[in-house]
Structure 1
Amino acid sequence: MTQNNAADVNLAKTRNNRLMGLAGVVAVTAMAVGAYWTMYASHFVSTDNAYTAAEVAQITPAVGGIVADVKAKDTQVVKKGEVLVTLDPTDAKLALAQAQADLDRALRRVKSYVATDANLSAQISAREADEKRAAAQLAAAQSDFERASIDLKRREALLASGSVSGDEVTRAKNAFAAASAQLDAAKAASTQAAANLRSAKAAQEANASLIANTTPDTNPEVLLARARMEQAKVDLDRTVIRAPLDGVVAKRMVQLGQKVQPGMPLMAVVPVADMYVDANFKEVQLTKVRVGQPVKLHADLYGKDVTYHGVVEGFSGGSGAAFSAIPAQNATGNWIKVVQRLPVRVKLDAAELQAHPLKVGLSMSAEIDARSQD
């Protein structure tokens, strides 16, 4: 029994020593893990809810017309300025020809205003001379009227004494009547001459307002016609639709012979060289995240063999739920708190994108190094 008890005691001691050793290992491991988490791992946040995106350029016509040629197809790589679609330019050429004719007509019309101004100046001089002549004629008629009036009064006074005959009085009356009629005619001519002068001056003022402080090239009518011609030139240039940036053609919907309207989507150009990532982090992960912090990313397309390096470029103005088509109404009914996710935009390295191209919508995993708080 003594030997058995001693064996049991040794076995218990061995077991206790092993348990204490295991506890020590567990404690050291826990302390190491805690230290690692506190000093290093807690400064990194990661998510696999991330997807590639790009500022896709929608190709739409600025003018309407019939599609004459389509030079791009889906998946085709295009350069900025490369022709994608050509519209039939017939209508645009006719509009340009009409605008040019309108410009020439406007120039001639404005030049005629200048010539009319000189003509009206000459007419004013002639009307002023007519007014002076009418004034002189009125003065002469007034003098003749006064003389005939005096002569008639004298003869009528001498008629009773027989010093003059009845025929002389009759002739005096006739002369007075003629002088009176001439005076009325002279007054009417003077009034007409004054009216003609005022009319000529008004016509000159109206014509002068059309050319005041301008030249034929700077006249508003010419400027308007020239602007319409420039617009017609622009519309003609817009019948050739070019790529606004480098990228890959996607979602081509336009076909040869199709009649398109301004603003109709024809295709899209995806700038694969300017790809970025929208990483959707939980709101509780973003406490230490700042713009400019480095990010490591992996694409499901290439796996862990390819690592992308980026930086935090910015934060969305709201969570995905806030901008959804039917946002949550948390103020109604029973409420269950759900941790929200906020899109974080990550800018990728251009050289790495060129070496390992990505497409829009691919899955990514992202890890932000939040140690830098600047």
Structure 2
Amino acid sequence: MQTSEKITASAMGNEPVKKGKRKTSFLILFIALVVIGAAWFFYYEVYAKYSEETNDAYVNGDLVVISPQISGTVSKVVVDQGDYVKKGQVLVSLDSNDTQIALQAAEAKLANSVREVRSLYATAGNAKASLEATKVEYNQAISDYERRQKLAKSGAISQENLNHYQDLVETTKSQYLASQQALKMAISLVDNTVLETHPAIKSAVANLRQTYLNNLRADIVAPISGYVAKRAVQLGSQVQPGTQMMVIVPLHQVWVDANFKESQMRDMRIGQLVTLTSDLYGEDVEYKGEIESLGIGTGSAFSLLPAQNASGNWIKIVQRLPVKIRLYKDNQAQYPLRIGLSMLAKVDIKDTSGPLLSKSVQLEARFDTDVYQNTLQEVNHLVTQILHENVGINNINPE
């Protein structure tokens, strides 16, 4: 009996202690929740409120397809997949025997055309001189006939003699008219032209330029510096214009296409700063960039078969819009990116002063190459040389 009383008294004494511990635990938990809430509120107000991120982002870039401009047989492949090439470097060579023969034939045709056109100008000069001669003969015949008419009236000459001079007038008249027609025909072939602007010369020059370009195009050059990918050309292959031989990827010009939910893009503007990390290098390597353009439409809007929501079983799906991010050059040399790599993009949306759409008109070319600019200058020198050699005049400027 005394033992049970002692146990009861002990339990009653421990109950206030347990209640105190429970209150302390609740207080600690409450304080922890308050601290966590305050920390989250501070994080949201300072950082999360002004940031949007997505892992639906991928590296993209230009894929420059290399194709021949003429048909031919591949005789040399200079580069292989993964090689770095410089702008203007020869990538593939085609057998040039046929193009060289065609070029020689075009040179001969131009030289022959020059000589033929020179003969046309000479023919026109001869026709003009012939017309003057027949005109003199015709006028002389008329004068002789008129003089014989007076003599015939006085009986000094016979009627038969007069008829002879009359026939001579008709003959010289026919010759004069024929000379006029011959001159018109000769002038029509050279009228309003000089030698270098004659249609026959211009046609031959155009043919020479085309065959010259075809001969140059037997060597296929790189229009841009980059890395070779998807090489499909093989030695001995018979290729046609438009055949995809390889692809050049300029990795120094890559960008990131990030797909954000439409609810995330309310405060996004062009020019906002973006921080990116790749799965390839991890979070230790960060890339910086800025928004270059905001999507004009969702992916489903530009798909081959756009979604038709005019049905009874419609379910709303949150759409995503593509955002193009231009990368800065900071880490790309040391940590190069590849086409198609996954990225995590975080956009700083605190500054909303930028435009939603581009308002500037692009007047200059964003991309260009000068590897083809000197080809016509070289062939123009060849044309001038052929003209000089076959006509012997100076200051000929072919058009």
TM-score after normalising by structure 2: 0.78
Letter in 2 for 1:107: V
Aligned to 2:140: 133
Aligned equivalents of 2:215 and 2:24: distance in 1?
A: 93
Q: Distance in 1 between matches of 2:312 and 2:227?
A: 48
1:207 aligns with 2:214: no
> Which structure carries more relative contact order (alpha carbon 8 Å, separation 6+)?
1
Letter in 1 for 2:338: K
Following TM superposition, by how much is the alpha carbon of 1:100 offset from its aligned partner in structure 2, in angstroms? 0.7
Deviates more, 1:257-266 or 1:113-122: 113-122
Cα pair 2:74 2:234 within 8 Å, conserved: yes
Any conservation in 2 of the 1:274–1:350 contact (CA below 8 Å)? Answer: no
- Alignment match, 1:239: 218
What corresponds to 2:173 in structure 1? 194
Q: Which residue of 1 aligns with 2:380?
A: none
Question: In structure 1, what is the equivalent of residue 248 of structure 2?
Answer: 269
Aligned match for 2:298, one of 304, 319, 343: 319
The aligned amino acid for 2:248 is V
Q: Partners of 2:168 and 2:12 in 1: how far apart?
A: 159
1:345 corresponds to 2:324: yes
What residue in structure 1 maps to residue 55 of structure 2? Answer: 48
Asked if 1:226 is matched to 2:226, the reply is: no
Choose from 308, 311, 318 the match for 2:287: 308
- Structure 1 counterpart SS, 2:76: strand
SS in 1 for 2:195: coil
2:92 equivalent to 1:85: yes
1:370 to 322, 336, 349: 349
Q: For residues 4-37 of structure 1, what are the alpha-carbon distances to aligned partners after superposition, in whole Å with 9 as ceiling and x for unaligned?
A: 8897567656645653564354345324423431
Offset, 1:134: 2.0
Moved over 6 A (4+): 1-7
Residue 36 (structure 2) aligned to one of 4, 29, 34: 29
In 1: Cα distance, 2:337 partner to 2:227 partner: 11
Which whole-Å deviations, capped at 9, do the CAs of 1:91-130 have from their partners, x for residues lacking one?
1111111111111112112211222222122111101111
| Alpha carbons of structure 1 residues 188 and 372: separation in structure 2 relative to 1, 3 Å | farther
Alignment of 1:3-22 (within 5 A): 12=19, 15-16=22-23, 19=26, 22=29
Distance 1:197 1:364 in 2: 90
Contact 2:59–2:339, Cα closer than 8 Å, also in 1: yes
Partner of 2:373: none
1:297 & 1:29 partners in 2: Cα distance?
28
Matched, 1:107 2:126: no
Q: Residues of 2 paired with 1:189 and 1:328: CA distance?
A: 94
Classify the secondary structure of the residue corresponding to 1:278.
Answer: strand
1:341, 1:147 → 2: CA distance?
Answer: 117
Secondary structure of 2:210's counterpart equals helix
> Number of matched residues?
346
Matched, 1:59 2:38: no
CA distance in 2, matches of 1:186, 1:65: 73
Give the greater-gyration-radius structure (CA).
1
CA deviation after TM superposition for structure 1 residue 46, in Å: 0.8
Q: 2:65 corresponds to which letter in structure 1?
A: Q
Shift of residue 186 of structure 1?
4.1
What stretches of structure 1 of length at least 5 have no aligned partner? 152-171
Q: State the 1:275 CA deviation.
A: 1.7
Q: Alignment partner of 2:293: what SS?
A: strand
Of 122, 125, 131, the match for 1:124:
131
- Amino acid across the alignment from 2:282: G
Cα distance in 1 for partners of 2:309, 2:176 equals: 84
CA distance in 2, matches of 1:86, 1:338: 53
Cα gap change, 1:38 to 1:192, in 2 (>3 Å): farther
TM-fit CA distance, 1:213: 4.2
Instruction: Report SS of the residue matched to 1:353.
Output: coil
More helix by share: 1
Where structure 2 has 5 or more consecutive residues not aligned to the other structure, the ranges are 1-7, 355-399
Contact 2:269 2:294 in 1 (8 A): no
Q: 2:105 matched to 1:98? A: yes
Deviation at 1:351, TM superposition (A): 4.0
Which deviates the most, 332-341 or 362-371? 332-341
Are the counterparts in 1 of residues 288 and 330 from structure 2 also a CA contact under 8 Å?
no
Identity rate of aligned residues, in percent?
A: 35
- CA distance in 2 between counterparts of 1:237 and 1:351 reads 39
Question: In the superposition, relative to structure 1, how do residues 222 and 8 fare at CA in structure 2: closer, same or farther (>3 Å)?
Answer: same
- C-alpha RMSD of matched pairs (Å): 2.7
Shift of 1:70: 1.1
Work out the CA distance in 2 between the residues paired with 1:128 and 1:207.
Answer: 18
TM-superposed deviation, 1:260: 0.7
| Aligned residues of 2:287 and 2:330 also touching (Cα < 8 A) | no
